[in-house]
């Protein structure tokens, strides 16, 4: 549960960075922010799905 919260917070920070750098028109930073958002957003979604699918204990328990 804590891992999904941490991933969610990182995803929100990546989203914030993406919009901030779009305003500054810094395209290299926009690219890195978008890639980070995509990766951590995917981790967040998959972790939440895993929590609901396995009951919160992970696949090995």
Signed CA dihedral, 25, 31, 37, 38: sign only: positive
Looking from the CA of 18 toward its CB, the CA atoms found within 13 Å total 14
What's the average model confidence in pLDDT over 33-52?
Answer: 94
**What tokens were used for 19?**
């919009």
pLDDT at position 26, please?
Answer: 96
pLDDT at position 60, please?
Answer: 56
pLDDT at 59 exceeding the cut of 90: no
pLDDT at 1 exceeding the cut of 90: no
Give the C-alpha separation, 3 to 32, whole Å: 22
């Amino acid at each position: 549960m804590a891992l999904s919260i941490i991933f969610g917070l990182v995803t929100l920070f990546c989203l914030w960075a993406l919009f901030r750098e779009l305003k500054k028109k810094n395209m290299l930073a926009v690219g890195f922010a978008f890639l980070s958002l995509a990766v951590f957003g995917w981790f967040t979604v998959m972790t939440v799905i895993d929590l609901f699918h396995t009951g919160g204990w992970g696949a090995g328990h």
